[in-house]
Amino acid sequence: MKIPVVKKVLEANERIAEENRRLFAEHGVFVINLVSGPGAGKTTLLERTIKGLKGQFRFGVIEGDIQSTVDAERVASPGVSVVQINTGGACHLDGNMIRGALDKLDLGRLDVLIVENVGNLVCPVEFDIGEHCKVMLLSVSEGDDKPLKYPLIFHESRLLLINKMDLLPYVDFNVEKSRRESLKINPHLEIIEISCKTGDGLTSWFDWLREKVGER
Amino acid sequence: MKIPVVKKVLEANERIAEENRRLFAEHGVFVINLVSGPGAGKTTLLERTIKGLKGQFRFGVIEGDIQSTVDAERVASPGVSVVQINTGGACHLDGNMIRGALDKLDLGRLDVLIVENVGNLVCPVEFDIGEHCKVMLLSVSEGDDKPLKYPLIFHESRLLLINKMDLLPYVDFNVEKSRRESLKINPHLEIIEISCKTGDGLTSWFDWLREKVGER
């Protein structure tokens, strides 16, 4: 007698992520899965990006949080479609949560969709949501030992944004060391140093985004 | 026909956590589960605490990390028993991992055991490891919106250490707001402001620890 076995969680997720990916391709939307630990500055980056590229791209944002809508409220502005996902305890977004949020977005009217994942350096990395790439944000106040301690997120990201460079004089963070350790884990990783507070480096991030959207 | 059902993960964990708790009580060891997001300063706090209370308590440390032994190496010093747990991808410590680590510690020779959990504001909170209490570390560079976004960890902790107070002039962090929001979630939460860099506030934290160890 053969007993049917429910597929593993990650396999089931991969199937839905593929559906999402097909939808994104169909509508020509470039999708970023934005990941970081809590408080690295994801929402501020979103605010600056949407403002800085106003009129150039039609942005959509999916905000992933355990609860509350504070981030969605910060990002909401005329011409930006924002959907909040409250995971209700779950430590990451998965393909199915994104699939549900897509019903609330008109993909045909978007150029770029940025998904702000739950602040967590571990679990979000395991769950494909159908994105084109992962962009990781690391703030200098978190310390330069993070590549060594959370290697998977460095391995899986296409771009690392080192944020809060304005705090560099006040913290023990060796930029060269963090670059070296990150590239040891992922030699293809692109790295841009930014400060969402002063605006330093944001032009390079905008250029990166423009290039990637152009290739979509 | 009755089919045996494997107990839920959290129930099974609770059973082992209870065993750990009994072992801790039997040997009179006060056990702290130290939780925070990545880079909030858990390991530095441990270094300062062990140094600051040298000769007063016999410390044991269990370091939880996805991989690497960098934190254990930082904490290791004469007279301190350190065990490293590499979770191999898992985003939190659980009762069974701690149970395994206890075989490597002589509980009869310890007064205080501090368990540094994986840097993660979500998952570690769900898993009891048999500790006396959770102590949460939040750095001011992470932002004062954290109670609103990660309420469970504030709810479950007995003490909140607001760390990196030396960075306060350079970041947007409202101490009063974070205190207010934290206490709204957990009215019994004790809160101490510290800077592991300058040493400010550490005396209050040492006093707190002395008091709790005295009550054990």
pLDDT digits (tens, 9 = 90+) for B182-213: 999 999 999 999 999 999 999 999 999 999 99
Tally Cβ neighbours within 10 Å of residue B212. Answer: 18
pTM greater than the 0.90 cutoff: yes
Q: Is the pLDDT of residue B24 over 70?
A: yes
A101 CA to centre of own chain: 16
Distances (CA, A) of B85 to B58, B129, B211: 20, 13, 29
pLDDT of residue B7: 58
% pLDDT > 90, chain A: 90
Residues of A in contact with B119 (CB under 8 A): 37, 121, 149-150
pLDDT number for residue A5? 58
Amino acid type, A189: L
Residue B187 near chain A (CB below 8 Å) = no
Beta-carbon contacts of A206 under 8 Å, excluding residues fewer than 6 positions away, are A49, A52, A53
The total domain count for chain A is: 1
Interface confidence, given as ipTM, is 0.90
The pLDDT value given to residue A10: 79
The residue assigned the tokens 């977004």 is A93
Structure tokens at A194: 């930014």
Residues in chain A, pLDDT under 50: none
Q: Looking at residue B89, what is its pLDDT?
A: 86
Q: A48 is in which domain, residue-wise?
A: 2-215
The rounded distance, in Å, linking the Cα atoms of A157 and A135 is: 5
pLDDT at A160: 98
How far apart CA B38 and CA A31 sit, in angstroms, is 26
Number of A–B residue contacts, CB under 8 Å: 100
Which stretches of chain B are DSSP H helices? 9-27, 42-52, 70-75, 95-102, 146-149, 151-156, 175-185, 202-215
Q: What is the pLDDT of residue B5?
A: 58
Percentage with pLDDT > 90 across chain B: 90
Average pLDDT, chain B: 94
Is some CB atom of chain B closer than 8 A to the CB atom of A185? no
Note whether B68 contacts A: Cβ–Cβ < 8 A: yes
What is the number of helices (H) and of strands (E) in chain B? 8, 7
Query: Chain B contacts of A148, Cβ < 8 Å?
Result: 68, 70
Q: What is the pLDDT of residues A147-193, one digit of tens each?
A: 999 999 999 999 999 999 999 999 999 999 999 999 999 999 999 99
Residues of B in contact with A141 (CB under 8 A): 39, 139, 141, 164, 167
| Amino acid occupying residue A11 | E
Instruction: Output the pLDDT for position A121.
Output: 95
Contact B139 A141 (CB under 8 A): yes
Q: Considering Cα of B163, then B164, then B170, then B171, what sign does the dihedral take?
A: negative
Q: Which two tokens stand for residue A131?
A: 């994105």
What's the rounded Cα separation, in Å, for the pair B155 and B143? Answer: 18
Q: Is A166 on the interface with B (CB under 8 A)?
A: yes
pLDDT at A168: 98
Inter-chain CB proximity A151 and B67 less than 8 Å: yes
What distance lies between CA B56 and its chain's CA centroid?
Answer: 20
pLDDT digits (tens, 9 = 90+) for B76-110: 988 899 999 999 889 999 999 999 999 999 999 99
**Which residues in A lie closer than 8 A to residue B38 (C-beta atoms)?**
37, 121, 142, 146, 149-150
Look at residue B165 and tell me whether its pLDDT is greater than 90: yes
pLDDT tens for A99-108 read 999 999 999 9
- The pLDDT of residue A7 is 58
Question: Is the CB of residue A86 less than 8 Å from the CB of residue B150?
Answer: no
The predicted-structure confidence for B126-152, as pLDDT tens digits, reads as follows 999 999 999 999 999 999 999 999 999
Mutual angle of helices B95-102 and B9-27, in 10-degree steps: 30
Going by the DSSP 8-state scheme, the letter that residue B161 receives in this structure is: E
* Burial per residue of B63-73, b for 16 or more beta-carbon CB atoms within 10 angstroms, e otherwise: bbbbebeebbe
R_g of chain B, CA atoms, integer Å: 17
* Lookup result for tokens 């205080």: B112
CATH number, domain with residue A78? 3.40.50.300
Q: To the nearest 10°, the Cα dihedral for A33, A39, A40, A41?
A: 80
Q: What's the pLDDT score for residue A2?
A: 64
pLDDT at B98: 97
Query: CA A46, CA A43: separation in Å to the nearest integer?
Result: 5
Is pLDDT at B4 greater than 70 in this prediction? no
Query: What is the mean predicted confidence (pLDDT) over B55-62?
Result: 96
pLDDT of residue A6: 55
Answer yes or no: are the C-beta atoms of B136 and B160 closer than 8 Å: yes
